[in-house]
Structure 1
Amino acid sequence: MTLSDGDLAAHLADQAGRILLQVRASGMFSGKSLGKAGDQTANQFLVHALREQRMEDGLLSEEEKDNAARLGKERVWIVDPVDGTREYGEERTDWAVHVAMAVNGAPVLGAVALPGLDVVLRSDQPGEVPPAPEVLRMVVSRTRPAPEATGVAEKIGAELVPMGSAGAKAMAILRGEADIYLHSGGQYEWDSCAPAAVALGWGLHASRIDGSPLVYNQTDVYMPDLLICRQEHAEMVLAQVRALS
């Protein structure tokens, strides 16, 4: 099977999502063991498939031991087999599978599957983002909303929308369910690469919360903050972040 990079990313995200649903439906696991089984099973599929289909490219996965060889590659696949393990285990829909490719550090290609909704959103097949409502909606963590996010929301009069995974939050903007995703509580490259790539492909703004570009395939894969929103809201949000600091 010969697939374009975009088709490969979307196919892998979709198939990994289906595998995860089967693992959960098997009834063999519960609680933390379900999350672990799902993560490991989906990771094995993604890692083996990428090494088979794109053996010359680098690879970074949350569930795989890091290999410094990726640092010498221009093209690096960055995957998160289950983004939102808690939500996956609780049989919610706000979890995701991330498959992305960074080229020279830039998030140029991505697919985010929302298996609970049977949806895959792709950077290379953008749709039209619904217009923003009068009162903006900011997605925040269900369990620990970032102080910067709640502070900015208060300043701009935005409604807070609690949600699970990073991928689900970012895709909520594309789907017209939210308008701003501001995160400052700490993430890793696999948490944001695919959502950022898809958001950028759909014409949205995606950056660090100081406005600087998102750069991937770094030695240190910690990426503490992220802003995804419509282009027309970016400077307003960034200005409010600066005012809070």
Structure 2
Amino acid sequence: MADTVLPAETRALAASLLPRVRETVREAAALAKPFFREGAQTRASVWSKAGGSPVTEADVAVDTFLKVRLSEIEPRAAWLSEETTDDPVRIDSEWVWIVDPIDGTRAFLSGHRDWSIAVALLAKGEPVIGIVYGPALGAFYEATAGGGASLNGSPIRASDATELNGIRITGPKPLQDRLVRGAMRLGNRPELTRIERIPSLALRVARIAEGVIDLGLISADSRDWDLAGADLILREAGGMVCDLNGEPARYNRPEPRHGELISAPLSLCEPALAALRAAG
């Protein structure tokens, strides 16, 4: 689970860009919020993408705005987002913006507050800026590489859990059940506090960074835009997103999708991975 050491000048550049990125994300949220109605259906027009997942006019408006503004902030960066046709030029680009304009679209359109805007800037495949903003929650998570993680300006830290018993866990029930089955094969029967599913994957990971959840299980088929920004926030808070072999999530590959993952404090990664492996 080696951590990549980024050059000091890369970290310094990320820190210098953060204030403008932060303001841009807040402005993007102002475009989306008029379409959101807590506890009620969105005011936005809704249609289905290929594959059946929903998209709203708010997704498109936020995506368009962010592409213009973020490209002005760091013009060298290529672009990858959920709502934009993928351009393979990004694969050979040193810098890449990765954006989910509305992570948790189904929550947004149904009036559930757990949706977010997720932004990351990558340098040579590594996140150096990460933002996850939940406008309906008033929760602004951010991090820069080497600069720590914060929520609404206050430092955050992942939990110090070292064993599965007593942890707060979220994620798909089949994966949670697999974890318990594996733990039992290793001679343990952990008592878990199961947290209701969080529609935005980026928020799920950010809450682990905040320390209010200990372990997040992530089913296969998540995408770079769901994870990259939140992953950096978790790294800077003392955790990681990794696959079931313990390898950190990798970004800006030709196919930007992931297999099964966990997100956890570093102290909890090995116990969680051991249980999942034992389950077979």
TM normalised by structure 2 equals 0.77
Residues 44, 28 of structure 1: CA spacing in aligned structure 2 closer, same or farther, 3 A cutoff? Answer: same
Identify which of 112, 115, 135 aligns with 2:132.
Answer: 112
Q: Which runs of 4+ in 1 moved over 6 A?
A: none
Residues 128, 56 of structure 1: CA spacing in aligned structure 2 closer, same or farther, 3 A cutoff? Answer: closer
Counterpart AA for 2:279: L
Residues 1:29 and 2:41 are matched in the alignment: no
In the alignment, is the contact (CA less than 8 A) between 1:107 and 1:193 conserved in 2?
Answer: yes
TM superposition shift of 1:222: 1.3
Residues 1:137 and 2:168 are matched in the alignment: yes
Residues 1:151 and 2:178 are matched in the alignment: yes
Q: Distance in 2 between matches of 1:177 and 1:66?
A: 35
Other structure's SS at 1:49 match:
helix
Listed one character per residue, the Cα deviations across residues 22-77 of structure 1 (whole Å, up to 9, x for unaligned) are 2336x743665894111101101111112222221111111011111111211111
State the partner residue of 1:55.
75
Residues 1:16 and 2:44 are matched in the alignment: no
Residues 122, 243 of structure 1: CA spacing in aligned structure 2 closer, same or farther, 3 A cutoff? Answer: same
In the alignment, is the contact (CA less than 8 A) between 2:46 and 2:57 conserved in 1?
Answer: no
Q: Distance in 1 between matches of 2:17 and 2:174?
A: 38
Q: Distance in 2 between matches of 1:121 and 1:153?
A: 31
Identify which of 169, 183, 194 aligns with 1:160.
Answer: 194
Identify which of 216, 225, 244 aligns with 2:260.
Answer: 225
TM normalised by structure 1 equals 0.87
Q: Distance in 2 between matches of 1:63 and 1:5?
A: 24
State the partner residue of 2:5.
none
In the alignment, is the contact (CA less than 8 A) between 1:30 and 1:89 conserved in 2?
Answer: no
Matched ranges for 1:177-188 at <5 A: 177-188=212-223
TM superposition shift of 1:225: 2.7
Comparing 108-117 with 79-88, which one deviates more in the overlay? 108-117
Identify which of 56, 66, 70 aligns with 1:46.
Answer: 66
In the alignment, is the contact (CA less than 8 A) between 1:207 and 1:214 conserved in 2?
Answer: yes
Other structure's SS at 1:177 match:
coil
Residues 15, 146 of structure 1: CA spacing in aligned structure 2 closer, same or farther, 3 A cutoff? Answer: farther
TM superposition shift of 1:91: 1.7
Q: Distance in 2 between matches of 1:39 and 1:216?
A: 22
When the two chains are superposed, the root-mean-square deviation of aligned CA atoms in Å is 2.4
TM superposition shift of 1:10: 2.4
In the alignment, is the contact (CA less than 8 A) between 2:17 and 2:73 conserved in 1?
Answer: no
Other structure's SS at 2:56 match:
helix
In the alignment, is the contact (CA less than 8 A) between 2:158 and 2:214 conserved in 1?
Answer: no
Counterpart AA for 2:44: F
State the partner residue of 2:269.
234
TM superposition shift of 1:152: 1.1
Counterpart AA for 1:15: E
Listed one character per residue, the Cα deviations across residues 206-230 of structure 1 (whole Å, up to 9, x for unaligned) are 2223211211111111112322111
In the alignment, is the contact (CA less than 8 A) between 2:126 and 2:251 conserved in 1?
Answer: yes
Other structure's SS at 1:186 match:
coil
In the alignment, is the contact (CA less than 8 A) between 1:146 and 1:185 conserved in 2?
Answer: no
Which segments of 5 or more consecutive residues in structure 1 lack a partner in the other structure? none
In the alignment, is the contact (CA less than 8 A) between 1:96 and 1:113 conserved in 2?
Answer: yes
Which segments of 5 or more consecutive residues in structure 2 lack a partner in the other structure? 1-14, 49-53, 150-154, 184-189
In the alignment, is the contact (CA less than 8 A) between 1:182 and 1:209 conserved in 2?
Answer: no
Other structure's SS at 1:120 match:
strand
Other structure's SS at 1:109 match:
strand
Residues 1:169 and 2:204 are matched in the alignment: yes
The structure with the greater share of residues assigned to helix is 1
